[in-house]
Each structure stands twice: as structure tokens, then as C-alpha cells.
Amino acid sequence: MTHPTLPQFPNAPKTTLGLVGGGQLGRMFVHEAQALGFKVAVLEPEAASPAAQAADLHIQAAYDDAQGLQQLAQYCSTFTTEFENVPAASLAKLAETGFVAPSAACVSIAQDRIEEKAFFTRCAPQTGILPAPHAILRSEADLAQVSDDLFPGILKTARMGYDGKGQVRVKNIDELRLAFAQLKGVVCVLEKMLPLAYEISVLVARGADGQAVVYPIAENVHRDGILFTTTVPSPHVSAEAALKTQNAALKLIADINYVGVLCIEFFVLQDGSVVVNEMAPRPHNSGHYTIDACVTSQFAQQVRAMAGLPLGDVRQHSPCVMLNILGDIWFDGEREIQPAWDKVLALPSAHLHLYGKAEARRARKMGHITFIAPSLEQAQAEMQQACQILGIAL
């Protein structure tokens, strides 16, 4: 663990924003903050993380390291996070000396599926949208109480799950027992699998003054629990479902006095009804398209919210498709290869973003490409061409 000697930034802490977490979301946040004239100090244990490479200052320490948090607080009076599993206690500690957006209380809701579902259920009279039927499993004894109506279902750990991690599909009670044991008997939530038509995400931002804005509906496709593509505008969502979910997002973000960017995922079922799935208390993978296709990106919005600036225009100026780039494309069987970026960038609508990760690994997010075109059809066609170039199955 390294605690560097901190440089003396002029006018700190007013011009320096504090970020807990060093991943690719943090890297894009740093770029937008610097474009607005801010410096960024990042607290992150990994030496060469994407955000640390771009930041003005890297404090290399664990997210809960007392000395690291103290050093961050010396140079910043406003703080945010780019990773929902940053300890809420660390954010609460930073709140003793400055302004944290989103707050520890808001982040803690999203860190625990039980709290999250309770929050969605409590707000259902306002939003008109419930989570999927589910059961809370705190011990093996709770398995015997599970209703047959919840099968087939997905068993999810209550905490520390993202990108499909900590999730097992189960068809019956026997598979549930095996899956619960496989997950080491930690507290879990069993969710009923519903007849899904498609998934959408609603990106919303709110300032400390209560001003809130909501982005266009994004339609998502996942593979193996990881986001594959995001298409905006959504090709399938009805005007009614769009309005209902956007209004729900605005009500949810106001209910907990949230400040910052929040992404809420919804399932649209085959009968047209809507179910709320989960939320992420930060900019989101499905919102990466906003960098190239909207007046104000989700990352610039996060900077504005935490710095007390007016929120930006969320207008989308071009139809687009965002394609996640995983480490798999760096491999041909067991042989490592270099993706043909020259051919991808020859496509007129392609905007490539690589995250600066030193090692490509299968299923690891390495970057994304946003395809922006005069029509959604053209963006989709060029996304498909890029997949053929990169060897990504369609």
C-alpha cells in the first residue's frame, strides 16, 4: 500500500473533485471533469487502473483505508464514486468533511438486493411498478418455505453481484438447494423468471437543488449476464411504457433525495407490463452512448451534480447503438491477436473508446464502440459490420 506525497493543487479543494474507485467509469468521469476545468483525485488500490491513469492525483489505497480517505479529504470537498460496491461507510466518512454525491445512504440501498427491492416495493404506490416476485433466503431453513410459483427463478447473492456474477438459474427446489450451497450459503434473493420481451434502462440525474433530468429510453441486450448492446432510441418500447418508466425514475430519485446520476433497469414483459429490476448509483454501461450521442454525457452530468452546477441538456442528437468490447476478441483460440481497429474505424459511424486496461481477459470489459448515424438502421448495420470484423457472433 502506497501513500504518496500530495502535490499542492492551487485553490484546492474547490477545484479538485474526489473519486472513490478507479475503473473505466471513473476514467470517463475524469475526462469530463477535466474538460470542465476541474482536477480529480482518485482513491483506488490498483496501481494502473483506468481512472488512475487519467487522474491528476492517484492515492493508491483500499477504499476503506483510513489514511487514504483522510488524504483524499485533504484535497477535496466534494466526492463521488464510480463503483457501487465501494463501502458505504467510506462515503459516510468522507461526508464528515465534505459533500458526497450520491450519499452513503443512497448507495447502501443499491448495494443490497433486499433493501433495493424493499425500496422499490415501498415506492410502488407512487410509481405503479413493482419488482419481480421474490423470496429472501437468509439460511438453508428458508429454502423449505419457497413457493413453487417462484420457479423457474434466478438465485442472486444479496450483495456484491454485478455483470452476472453471484447468479444461478434454478428450475426447482433441488436445483435451488444446490445453487444455495454453491453460493456458500450467503444471504440470497430468489427472483421468479418472467416472460421477458426486452430490457430497458432509464438514466436520470438530479442536483442538490432538486432539479432532475431524464435521458431517452435505452434498450439493452445481454449475453452471459454482461451487457452486449444498447440501442437508443429503443426500437420496441411504447410511448406509454417510456413515459411510465421515466416518471418512475424521477419519483424514485426524488424519494431518497439522491444527488448524481442513477440508472434504473426495467423489464418489459411479453404482455406489455413493466417490472423494475435494479438500480446502479452511478453512471452506467448502458449510458456510455451519451458521450457521443447526447448534448450532455452522463459523466458530465455527474460532475455538474456534485459540483453544484446546473444540469445539462439530455437531448439525443443522433440515433445510435453501443457495442461492448470484451477481452475475448484479443484471442483466436489460445493465440493472442490484435483487433483490427483500423477496419472498425473505417466505418463512418464508429466511435471507439478503449479503457487503457493492460491485460485483455475473456469476459473483461475493455472498451466500447458507439455507432452514430442519421438513421438507427444505418447505425445497426455498421454495428453488425464491426462485429464481423472483430469476430463477434451476432
Binding-site residues for ATP: 113, 156, 161-167, 191-194, 199, 222, 277-278
Strands 331-332 and 335-336, sheet pairing: antiparallel
Region at 363 (left for phi over 0; alpha for psi -120 to 50; beta for the rest): left
Annotated binding-site residues read 113, 156, 161-167, 191-194, 199, 222, 277-278
DSSP structure class, residue 215: P
13 burial class (0-12, 13-18, 19+ CB within 10 angstroms)?
buried
For 245-319, list the strands marked E by DSSP. 260-269, 274-280
Please say whether the beta carbons of 195 and 269 come within 8 A. yes
Per-position b or e across 163-189, b if 16+ CB within 10 A of its CB: eeebbbebeeeebbeebbeebeeebbb
Nearest to 234 by CA among 376, 346, 106: 376
